[in-house]
Chains A and B, each alone.
Chain A
């Protein structure tokens, strides 16, 4: 029985409970695998008409049943749902052919449960196991490395060169350890981005995977540690793409008079940075409750102030050279257009540095920096004066301002219906540690480090009414951890690290933090599914 403990997208880490084997794993062909027999032993037997390779000849599947665990070699057939390990029969044929590889891997993965394992025989090298793990391969072997040993080729994580290496397998295992660490610390994507650069087909594969957002994204956590967006592919990472998609699908700007466009800051969250501290000194002198601040940035595009804590807004870092690439510009302007269209702003004010002139050019608005540094005394003075001239000095309805902001965060986190959490509630506390309260009971609070709302039972009741982010469990009192075996069905929108509610036949049983995605907890029968925070 396989139990997955960490996951990121399609990559996962875990092990066989009974056998003390960890995945991802490198199998050795010497032990305990046996040499395959020759099929001459079986010439009169029932051999499939079509060979098991190559795949394009229409190969048929063969089945293996071995006691407790069922293993199925597959090509393009319908996988048997009872198997736990699927063997990609024609893996070597697909190396270097990114389109076919990604297509086969994902079509297989879509038809089997997220926690099931895939074995790609005969292909693993220190160069490719990062991307292969990322696309959902869990089991590798030493065959390719040992064959390269014999050919006098020394492999590394970026190329093979002539040498008398006997250590290719050691290098493979060392790389495997890095891959495991990458999954454990939620940094596998960065490892993959650096490894794929050694060969064009691997970059192709990564780009093709990024186009398969719906398949890859469910397993990508909604919170995390650092995120370094160092490559062009980083712009399309599922977690970054998800942020941009949610701006379009889940976000409605608050009703404010002024849209204020701001640059991002190197230190995160933005409000902690020196730049934004200076800007706050200027905006604070006008009626800031009438001002909607939106930070324009790559790779997230546009980050409204209310969402500055939400992963990955407070986690990302990018190389800044003050040169904007066309696709970055396009992304920023696309989201800005969307926000401008949705919000009923009377005025748009830009307080952007000179390298972001393309924004002013696009919307033709007042630029209060006038090409100066955004924190220079002159530009801050101009910002202050301009805002005062529009909204005046008198501070407006702060309570409503906070409620609108939190309501937007709730909707961003839970989708339509999430804003109900703030209905009839008021916000208490000091930013960012806001709590929202209704009728003397707290419904939830922002956990600054996670960048999201954590629910109380009362908050859970509201989501239960809306029917969102539900995990339907058997009838028991959820304490500690709810295991996947106890989950009947879960909202497919749930990602690892998401806040979710536990229900049984319509009745709220508790609230907690998801460990796996909704589809995975529905399918899996082992492993923790939800860490319970409160129960009824």
Chain B
């Protein structure tokens, strides 16, 4: 089986529901102040890329329904408005691109944006749907618009081969220009440990990516990869070929990166998400959850004995799996035989 065969086998796991996927209330820092957030996930037909190919770590297609109609989306909006408590940050997600007119017709998306009275509104999109006319229309509807793009990695090799992202870093940069031209903010998702990278490679890749996208108008969001149902990654994971990142790796990135960033909490400390030995996980996850309020909290994390195990894992993992260029493999065995 080849990576390209995955979509056929997995992308048909879609839903037949027509209601909202979820809404939730939370907190986030905005201009140095702790601010309430309201997040909505609309159930749309889903990410266009997931119909054509799809990303290796993505299982969000299970929250989509190809038969969702405009009337369903309007019902979902009514439901969302009824749950809205006037939070200053509103995040509007689909399991795809909010800016893709095939998912949310432009008239409706404009109307959705105008329905909430927030200081900051976040919507997500792949870069190909970030177009000047769309962004301009949208910025008129809200106080401050933030376009979130799942870049995942600034390394084209990782984008193409590890994630199968379907766009390149330069596509992202073009979208970024458009966003900044329109005086909108940008949010960039970066993955910690995409499939096929070793732990150390994943740390290096993330630090490199953080450095590459750093910008005052850009919020960097770190997403430690969690193993989602019906994703290609789940197959790797089930075959013990993938271990979600260690929390120690996440902490290392947080310590080493100079940029401000937010950490996605999805799956943290669980078996399918970034985790350590099981003993120290809850303490570290709690610290990470609160670090946006008080960053010094991470300094106080006490070492667990599994930190040595993590160091050893980083050391030995490259030898366990055969992966690399002919030159790398050649270097590795030169002089031995």
- Among B324, B325, B333, point to the contact of A66 (Cβ < 8 A): B333
Q: Which of A38, A52, A90, A146 contacts B200 (CB 8 A)?
A: A38
Binary per-residue interface labels of chain A (76-96) against chain B in the complex, 1 for a CB within 8 Å, 0 otherwise: 000000001101011011000
Given contacts A151-B309, A152-B305, whether A87 and B161 have CB atoms under 8 Å apart is: no
- Are A27 and B322 in contact (CB-based, < 8 A)? no
Do residues A64 and B201 form an inter-chain contact, with CB atoms below 8 A?
Answer: no
Given A36-B324, A58-B1; A146-B332 close (CB under 8 Å): no
Closest Cβ of chain A: how far from B280's Cβ, in Å? Answer: 15
Q: Is the CB of B320 within 8 A of A121?
A: yes
Q: Are B319 and A57 in contact (CB under 8 A)?
A: no
| Least Cβ–Cβ distance between B190 and chain A, in angstroms | 16
B327 contacts across to A, CB distance below 8 A? 37, 42, 45
- A35, A38, A53, A69: the one contacting B204 at CB < 8 Å is A38
Q: Is the CB of B2 within 8 A of A53?
A: no
- Residues facing A in B277-334 (CB within 8 A) are 305, 308-309, 311-313, 316, 318-334
For the complex, count residues of B whose C-beta is within 8 A of A: 44
Residue contact B204 to A121, C-beta cutoff 8 Å = no
B10 within 8 A of A: no
Q: Indicate with 1 or 0, residue by residue over A431-472, a CB within 8 angstroms of chain B CB atoms.
A: 000000000000000000000000000000000000000000
For B327, the closest partner residue in chain A by CB is A42
A117 to chain B minimum Cβ distance, whole angstroms, is 9
Which residues from A are CB-within-8-Å of B318?
A: 35-36
Tell me which residues across on chain B come within 8 A of A85, comparing CB atoms: 337
Contact check, A47 vs B157: say whether CB atoms are below 8 A apart.
yes
The residues of B that contact A53 with a CB separation of less than 8 Å are 196, 241, 321-323
In Å, the complex CA distance between A149 and B240 comes to 20
Which residues of chain A are within 8 angstroms of B337 by Cβ–Cβ distance? 16, 66, 69, 71, 84-85
Q: Are A121 and B305 in contact (CB under 8 A)?
A: no
Cβ contacts under 8 Å, A147 to chain B: 312-313, 316, 320
Residues of B within 8 A of A87 (CB): 322
Which residues on the A side are within 8 Å of B323 (C-beta)? Answer: 39, 51-53
Cβ distance B10 to chain A, nearest Cβ, rounded Å: 14
Say yes or no: B325 contacts A46, CB within 8 Å: yes
Is A43 in the interface zone, CB < 8 Å from B? yes
Cβ-neighbour of A52 out of B311, B316, B324 (below 8 A)? B324
A63 (CB) vs chain B CBs: closest residue: B326
In the complex, how many angstroms separate the beta carbon of A490 from the nearest chain B beta carbon? Answer: 28
Whether a CB of chain B sits under 8 angstroms from the CB of A33 is: yes
Does B236 count as interface, using CB distance less than 8 angstroms? yes
Q: Which residues of A contact B (CB under 8 A)?
A: 16, 27, 29, 32-43, 45-47, 49-54, 56-58, 62-66, 69, 71, 73, 84-85, 87, 89-90, 92-93, 121-122, 141, 143-144, 146-147, 149-152
Other than the known A33-B332, A37-B328, what 15 A-B pairs have Cβ atoms closer than 8 Å?
A: A33-B336, A34-B331, A36-B329, A36-B332, A37-B327, A39-B157, A51-B196, A52-B324, A53-B196, A53-B323, A62-B324, A66-B334, A90-B321, A93-B240, A144-B320
